[in-house]
Structure 1
Amino acid sequence: MPFPWQPGMRLTDTRLNEHSPVTVSKAASESRASTVVSADAELALLLAPGRWSVAVHVSYAGTATANSGIVAQWSLPSGMVLVGFRLVNGPAAGSSGSASVSMRASVNSATTSIEYGAGSGFAALEESGIIDVSTAGTFAFAWAKAAAGASAQVGIGSWLEARRIA
């Protein structure tokens, strides 16, 4: 169906749900020992053509090694374009404890790798942005462990949400 509503359009359940947010969450924690950034299979959504507001909220942990944490970016297939910037908020690289954390807030491109610190405790990050989709495809949160530390983990309950806005 065309978007947005037009006079004379029939009211259907599909039409009514067009603006409902679509949310996925991690069913189990996942550990990675590689520094190669790759898409998270659970934090991924198939998006239809249109303009989408996207938000991701991730709990994660590094190891006891200083400067451990994760590196994150967005996986956008052809047919998807970030409108403006990706807004990020979370512990800065090098943060290693929950008692005193340096936070980062910045704007970046979708594929810019952002390093978030954690140390041995769990930390949290959030990222958001607007995506124009011309060809349906899968948007995903992509991540790897930071260079320091043996591994990193993205926690159960981390979630990704998209809402069609145009």
Structure 2
Amino acid sequence: MGDDLKKAVTRVGPGVVTVDLMKDPQNSSCNRGFAFVEYYNYACAEYSRKKMSTPKFKLDSNAPTVSWADPRSGDSSANSQTKAVYVKNLPKDVTEDQLQKLFEHHGEITKVVLPPAKSGQEKRYGFVHFAERSTAMKALKNTEKYELDGNSLIKFSCVKSYSF
């Protein structure tokens, strides 16, 4: 399904970098019903988001709900509550403590979430939750390079909510 999803979103618009289809941790043959699509830049993402938000866009027979992982409206109350940073390209054996140590110099971290690694998966992703939104934004916008086991990590976005 992951390859099919990537093909579907690539047909809609340019600039698809990665598609992460979230798997059910209790049953890796099933997906959780959502995915993250990373684009080369905002323009590519916005173009595709608009095209996928029409009733004409379907995955199989379903019209998906398409929204930003990183809300673009700086004034929304939901956006003002966003305190979690999505981090990808993590080594398979990363620990919550390692991820916390990488980001804690920005400010207080309330928790680190690492979804279970999938079999055969070489890279993982996680979420770093900060006590304050300003700290999360500081960590996200900071240009310093983060590395674990020689892998450069990618700070993808602040996320409002997620589930596994």
TM-score between both structures, scaled by the size of structure 2? 0.31
TM-score between both structures, scaled by the size of structure 1? 0.31
Between Structure 1 and Structure 2, whose CA radius of gyration is higher?
1
Q: Which is strand-richer, 1 or 2?
A: 1
